[in-house]
Amino acid sequence: MEVYFLGTNAGVPSIQRNVTSIALRLFEERRTFWMFDCGEGTQHQVLKSPLRLGKLERIFVTHLHGDHIFGLPGLLSSRAYQGGTAPLTVYGPPGLKAFLEVSLNISQSRVPYKLDIVEHTGGLIFEDEGFKVEASLLDHRIDSYGYRITEKDRPGSLNTERLREWGLKPGPAYGRLKKGLDVTTEDGRVIASKDVVSEPKPGRVVTILGDTRPCPAIVPLSRGADLLVHEATFASDLADLAHDYHHSTTIQAAEAAREAGAGELVLTHFSSRYSVLDDLLPLLDEARTVFPDTLLAEEFRLFPVVRRADKPAGK
């Protein structure tokens, strides 16, 4: 479970950075990846990355501003050329379906795979045996959502060494024990699952926010997240400008991470006025005065999602 940035700029592309798109790589968990927002030029960014659109399973759109959706029609129509024949689902606010249907129909784009467009207004958006995704409305000029991605708890590990000592060989009995079921051996001995299976391993949580000013929805959505992705369009000296344009500052993002008890904070969606990395480093320093475990998003940089309980002390 890893977060990978394809674009980190706000509003318009710049020479140094593309507009917003984030991939959540789930290669180990389900051999796919999910995408959050798809700004103009995202498919070009994908071509420069280790990602392949044939592995793209779901797209979650935070809001319908162009720097978050203008890359969708092109990416959807060209996905099949990268082996994307499996079904694909796109989630987002009302209006997304009309945007995509008009764009694809007028351009006579051929989409040779099953494409589902799911509009929502928050709540539980998706759930299966491995993950669930919830959304909440934020505070932006148009409806903008944040997404909380929760990995379901994983079963504990089977103590195979003890089972071998007891004479139980690998087979269906191992599977029953892993599922929490007790097993009776041929000689009548009962082996309790709780005696040979460790405690379940808690799932990880990632929160990815759309554009927003500070608002009450952020903290519940981010509560206890192992990794929080929060926009930081401006430095703190431009707080008034951030408020007027319905965006957040570095300090506001850091305060949200601290209040939510997040494990790590990754800042993204930077104004073009911060054109190079040296311009962004003061933003990082600002945020770290409030929340030390803060990182800067960078194009083509991978951020592993580490359980807070698994992080080394002092990290």
Sequence-separated (6 or more) residues with CB below 8 Å from residue 171: none
Angle at 82 between CA 19 and CA 55, to 5 degrees: 75
Residue 310 is assigned to a ligand binding site: no
Contact 115, 88 (CB under 8 A): yes
Which residues participate in catalysis according to the annotation?
67
Residue 68 is assigned to a ligand binding site: yes
* β partners of residue 170: none
Nearest in space to 145 (alpha carbons), one of 165, 179, 120: 120
Instruction: Say how far apart CA 293 and CA 264 lie, in whole Å.
Output: 5
Residue 37 is assigned to a ligand binding site: no
H-helix or E-strand spanning residue 72: helix 72-78
Instruction: Say how far apart CA 66 and CA 40 lie, in whole Å.
Output: 8
DSSP-based three-state secondary structure for 24: strand
Residue 63 is assigned to a ligand binding site: yes
Which residues are part of a known binding site? Answer: 63, 65, 67-68, 140, 211, 269
Annotated binding site for Zn(2+): 63, 65, 67-68, 140, 211, 269
